[in-house]
């Protein structure tokens, strides 16, 4: 039977974040979520730019829907690159992009990052995307369980996003659908705090997809919602029952950062530039500073500050991260920040035999930007995982290798200085 697509979209800033870096879109043929990242580098700008390009694909595809979707995703990546080049303060901004394009028969899926897409059929929920994250690689290797991944300290480390770099390698696929199917695209603000079992139950029991969207947002808020939460839901229904042409004439919905207007008080030079006003990062409101309190209050503040510094110093000493030292992957103690001339970290160890250049590009970039670890054991586990990745990338047959492949050493794996073992 001919099918049509119904849709709904909702977004909430959550209970912790000051602004919404998520953007979402739902239209007659296109469903999309973009979760921006970059903090001061304007993640909200990246997600808006991505949605602004992706909506150009909201029409009945002429030809292969994956080709149409791929072109839109590439355009979004190019837009982010152009904006970062035009404003150095935005260098490093990026966004996830998870998109479904309806061609009247099937859904084409395009995905990069850690936003997710799910399919609900006959009350059973299936995740139809794979997270592009460091912890997902650990799950794939069997080193941790999916349950462990939800609590892993490096769970937010993404391995692929739209960041203006080329080439990009999103995942593309075709999803066969049938009447009654519901699809959900969400940012990790939902999937990090609401389990798949809860999502399945809410999505299946909701009378309408609008109800489902509201209930999913509410459940995330009830769970603490430390991040922005965005959901876009589609439902495949009998076209005749929905009304002739319903899919082509329904209005579209934009939510999250892409739907927000720029606050008043932008610099004068931006007031006459619509594009700059649309994408410029919103300035935070500055609090007025109070004049100096009486001496006794100052003394109290100093005492509290000293105690805070003592606590902070102990906390910093307990932190570790993986970075680079003289071209080798290394473990650092502390955090990668500075207070004026004071460095808040120091080199803890260089495991050796793991040159940065031996890592596949995606991991090389992550290490270059540093990967946070919860403790020393976690940092050592990250190094072990990176070594396995490097060795697998360069492994080759050698005349010296034993039949069961017990050892990979030095040049035997095809990269100078890379030492491997299984």
Evaluate if residue 422 carries a pLDDT over 70.
no
Evaluate if residue 407 carries a pLDDT over 70.
no
Burial of 293: CB neighbours in 10 Å, binned 0-12, 13-18, 19+: exposed
Please state, in angstroms and rounded to a whole number, the distance separating the CA atoms of residues 42 and 47.
9
Q: 151 Cβ partners below 8 Å, 6+ apart?
A: none
Position with higher pLDDT, 398 vs 230 = 230
DSSP character for 415?
S
Select the highest-mean-pLDDT range: 78-82, 250-254, 307-311: 78-82
The arithmetic mean of pLDDT across residues 307-333, rounded, is 75
Q: Which two tokens stand for residue 115?
A: 């936003």
DSSP character for 284?
P
pLDDT at res. 318:
77
- What value does the mean pLDDT of the chain take? 82
- Exposure of 241 in the CB half-sphere (CA atoms within 13 A): 10
User: Range with the lowest mean pLDDT among 61-75, 98-112, 240-254, 310-324?
Assistant: 240-254
- In the block, tokens 């260089």 appear at 350
User: What pTM was estimated for this model as a whole?
Assistant: 0.64
Domains of the chain: 3-279 (3.60.40.10), 320-398+405-421 (no CATH)
Report residue 31 CA to chain centroid gap: 17
pLDDT at res. 421:
67
Residues making up the chain, counted from first to last = 422
pLDDT at res. 274:
30
The arithmetic mean of pLDDT across residues 313-337, rounded, is 81
pLDDT at res. 362:
74
The arithmetic mean of pLDDT across residues 374-379, rounded, is 84
In SS3 terms, 221-266 reads as: HHCCCCCCEEEEEEEEEEHHHHCCCHHHHCCCEEEEHHHCCCCCCC
pLDDT at res. 342:
58
Please state, in angstroms and rounded to a whole number, the distance separating the CA atoms of residues 127 and 32.
16
Q: 293 Cβ partners below 8 Å, 6+ apart?
A: 301
């Amino acid at each position: 039977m001919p099918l049509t697509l119904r849709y709904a979209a909702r977004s909430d800033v959550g209970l912790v974040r000051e602004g919404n870096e998520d953007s979402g879109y739902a239209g007659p043929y296109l469903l999309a979520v973009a979760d921006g990242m970059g903090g001061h580098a304007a993640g909200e700008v990246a997600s808006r730019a991505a949605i602004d390009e992706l909506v150009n694909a909201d029409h009945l595809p002429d030809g292969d829907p994956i080709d149409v979707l791929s072109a839109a995703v590439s355009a979004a990546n190019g837009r982010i690159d152009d904006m970062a080049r035009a404003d150095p303060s935005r260098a490093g901004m990026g966004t996830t992009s998870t998109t479904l394009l309806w061609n009247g028969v099937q859904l084409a899926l395009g995905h990069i990052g850690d936003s997710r897409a799910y399919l609900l059929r006959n009350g059973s929920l299936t995740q139809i995307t794979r997270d592009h994250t460091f912890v997902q690689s650990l799950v794939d290797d069997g080193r941790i369980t999916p349950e462990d991944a939800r609590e892993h300290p490096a769970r937010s480390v993404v391995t692929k996003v739209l960041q203006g770099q080329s080439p990009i390698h999103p995942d593309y696929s075709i999803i066969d659908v049938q009447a009654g199917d519901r699809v959900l695209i969400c940012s990790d603000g939902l999937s990090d705090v609401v389990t798949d079992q809860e999502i399945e139950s809410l999505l299946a029991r909701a009378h309408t997809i609008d109800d489902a969207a509201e209930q999913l947002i509410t459940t995330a808020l009830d769970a603490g919602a430390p991040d922005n939460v965005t959901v876009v839901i589609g439902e495949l229904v009998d076209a005749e029952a929905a009304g002739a042409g319903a899919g082509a004439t329904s209005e579209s919905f934009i939510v999250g950062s892409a739907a927000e207007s720029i606050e008043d008080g932008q610099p004068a030079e931006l007031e006459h530039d619509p594009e700059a006003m649309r994408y410029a990062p919103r300035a935070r409101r500055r609090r007025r500073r109070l004049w100096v309190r009486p001496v006794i209050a100052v003394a109290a503040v100093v005492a509290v500050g000293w105690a805070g510094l003592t606590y902070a110093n102990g906390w910093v000493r307990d932190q570790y991260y993986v970075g680079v030292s003289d071209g080798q992957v290394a473990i650092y103690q502390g955090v990668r920040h500075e207070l004026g001339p004071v460095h808040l970290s120091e080199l803890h160890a260089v495991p050796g035999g793991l040159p940065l250049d031996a890592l596949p590009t995606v991991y090389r970039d992550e290490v270059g930007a540093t990967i946070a670890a919860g403790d020393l054991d976690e940092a050592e586990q990250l190094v072990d995982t990176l070594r396995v990745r490097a060795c697998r990338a360069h492994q080759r047959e050698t005349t010296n290798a034993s039949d069961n492949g017990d050892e990979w050493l030095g040049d035997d794996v095809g990269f100078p200085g890379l030492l491997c073992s299984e």
